[in-house]
């Protein structure tokens, strides 16, 4: 049991279709936070759809399942098995969950090929276990140039079509009416919502390409960041044919592969109006968090491009480097559009960052202490300290600060009043 250590992994247990179904039911029908009815409708609807589709030999891909192909047959490897990630809530370590997931992957391969070994699993999902040799100190693992997203063959989530047949809908409604006392109209609406959420998160296996999976990312359109119902299903390409060009002779090659996969995954999610967290990347790529952070930092340093993640786009986590980068670019003379393209933000968001910085400059010019700035602006101490450090760096004197503010449209009279 490692409950303290496990806190950062708890969000993985929400990367399943059931919490999304329940959240959308609670939103739509204003149900209680711990609604037994919502959970019942979600489980019942999914089970009835799966029972129907099993008769037709239809296989759906659930969030966290990787589609692979062997001898022209497709199968799924569970990267995030719900039966095990739910154990995170009980304090089971993330490392143990990884091992359980690995055994699930092995069983899936063995069912197809009895001669499969755990090393066959590693070749697909855990290349780090195969590469032990160190790279030379001067090995450059970064690509020669940043990814051109126009070259990506983006596959969006397929149209769900009819979520549930009329016969199956009626069966589910009858259960809810007879056993839970629901009104027929209410039961029908609830089953329809749960069915749409399930089918919308789980495309048929033939609708994805080998090497792809569905993942629940954070929607860039959402307004309430703590709402699971606003997770957005996206199709990600974890393994592309071009990945095979990298021969994994040493750890430098491993970093090279993982960086290419990282820029592809973040770009694909971004184009589908979603972003991944650093934890998502860590889990999908099966690498330590330090490797994820270093790759993102090195990529930014080399190309001046920030890979779009939840930390840089939605301000989740402690990282504020993207705001610093926006301000640095603006002070260097870059246009709003140029900045937006480089940091994967909207032009409106970039303008908001710049306006916030100018407000801090004004307050600094007026001599307002930091504690008062926090109250006046509503910004966090860390953000204000970051802006003040930039102000000191670029405008060390009152004259330099006044000159810049004047160029931004702040009148000399306003500056005089603050002097």
pLDDT tens for residues 207-263? Answer: 999 999 999 998 877 554 445 547 899 999 999 999 999 999 999 999 999 999 999
| Whether this model's pTM surpasses 0.95 | no
Give the pLDDT of residue 416: 47
Quick one: pLDDT band at residue 414, thresholds 50, 70, 90? low
Whether the predicted pLDDT of 26 surpasses 70: yes
- C-alpha angle 228-229-234 in degrees, rounded to nearest 5: 90
pLDDT tens for residues 288-303? Answer: 999 999 999 899 888 8
* Dist CA 78 CA 80 (whole Å): 5
Whether the predicted pLDDT of 1 surpasses 50: no
pLDDT tens for residues 357-413? Answer: 998 998 988 888 999 999 888 888 888 888 898 888 888 888 888 888 888 887 655
Give the pLDDT of residue 320: 41
Q: What is the CA radius of gyration of the chain?
A: 25
Report the b/e string of 146-176 with b at 16+ CB within 10 A.
Answer: bbeeeeeeebebeebeebbeeebbebbbebb
pLDDT tens for residues 44-101? Answer: 999 999 999 999 899 999 999 999 999 889 999 999 998 898 888 888 899 999 999 9
pLDDT tens for residues 311-347? Answer: 776 655 444 456 777 887 888 788 888 888 777 777 8
With a CB cutoff of 8 Å and minimum separation 6, the contacts of 118 are: 102, 106
Give the pLDDT of residue 137: 82
Give the pLDDT of residue 223: 52
3-state helix, strand, coil in the chain (%, to 5): 60, 10, 30
* Dist CA 395 CA 23 (whole Å): 49
Give the pLDDT of residue 342: 73
Give the pLDDT of residue 172: 95
Q: Pick the most confident of 22-36, 87-101, 173-187, 295-309.
A: 173-187
- Structure tokens belonging to residue 65: 């399942």
Torsion angle of C-alpha atoms 377, 221, 294, 351, degrees rounded to 10: -40
Helices (H), 153-286: 166-180, 184-201, 251-271, 278-285
- In this prediction, residues 173-199 reach a mean pLDDT of 94
* Dist CA 259 CA 236 (whole Å): 15
Give the pLDDT of residue 411: 66
């Amino acid at each position: 049991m490692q409950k303290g250590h496990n806190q950062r992994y708890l969000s993985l247990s929400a990367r399943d279709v059931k919490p999304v179904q329940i959240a959308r039911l609670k939103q739509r029908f204003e149900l209680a936070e711990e609604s037994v009815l919502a959970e019942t409708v979600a489980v019942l609807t999914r089970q009835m759809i799966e029972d129907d589709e099993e008769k037709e030999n239809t296989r759906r891909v659930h969030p966290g399942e990787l589609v692979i192909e062997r001898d022209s047959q497709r199968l799924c490897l569970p990267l995030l098995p719900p039966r095990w990630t739910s154990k995170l809530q009980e304090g089971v370590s993330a490392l143990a969950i990884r091992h359980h997931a690995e055994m699930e992957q092995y069983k899936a391969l063995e069912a197809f090929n009895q001669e499969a070994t755990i090393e066959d699993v590693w070749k697909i999902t855990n290349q780090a276990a195969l590469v032990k040799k160190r790279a030379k100190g001067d090995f450059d693992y970064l690509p020669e140039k940043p990814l051109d997203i126009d070259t990506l063959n983006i596959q969006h989530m397929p149209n769900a079509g009819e979520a549930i047949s009329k016969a199956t809908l009626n069966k589910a409604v009858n259960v809810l009416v007879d056993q839970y006392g629901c009104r027929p109209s209410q039961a029908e609406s609830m089953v329809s919502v749960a069915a749409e959420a399930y089918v919308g998160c789980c495309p048929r296996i033939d609708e994805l390409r080998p090497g792809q999976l569905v993942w629940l990312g954070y929607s860039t359109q959402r307004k309430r960041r703590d709402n699971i119902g606003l997770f957005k299903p996206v199709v990600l390409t974890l393994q592309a044919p071009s990945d095979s060009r990298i021969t994994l002779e040493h750890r430098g090659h491993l970093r090279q592969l993982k960086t290419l996969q990282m820029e592809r995954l973040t770009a694909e999610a971004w184009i589908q109006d979603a972003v991944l967290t650093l934890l998502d990347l860590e889990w999908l790529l099966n690498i330590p968090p330090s490797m994820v952070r270093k790759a993102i930092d090195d990529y930014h340093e080399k190309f001046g491009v920030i890979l779009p993640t939840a930390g840089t786009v939605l301000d989740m986590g402690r990282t504020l480097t993207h705001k610093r980068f926006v301000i640095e670019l603006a002070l260097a003379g870059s246009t709003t559009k140029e900045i937006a393209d480089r940091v994967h933000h909207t032009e409106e968001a970039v303008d908001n960052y710049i306006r916030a910085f100018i407000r801090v400059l004004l307050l600094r010019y007026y001599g307002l202490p930091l504690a008062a700035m926090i109250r006046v602006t509503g910004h966090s101490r860390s953000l204000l300290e970051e802006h003040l450090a930039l102000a000191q760096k670029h405008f060390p004197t009152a004259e330099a600060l006044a000159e810049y503010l004047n160029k931004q449209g702040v009148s000399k009279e306003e500056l005089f009043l603050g002097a």
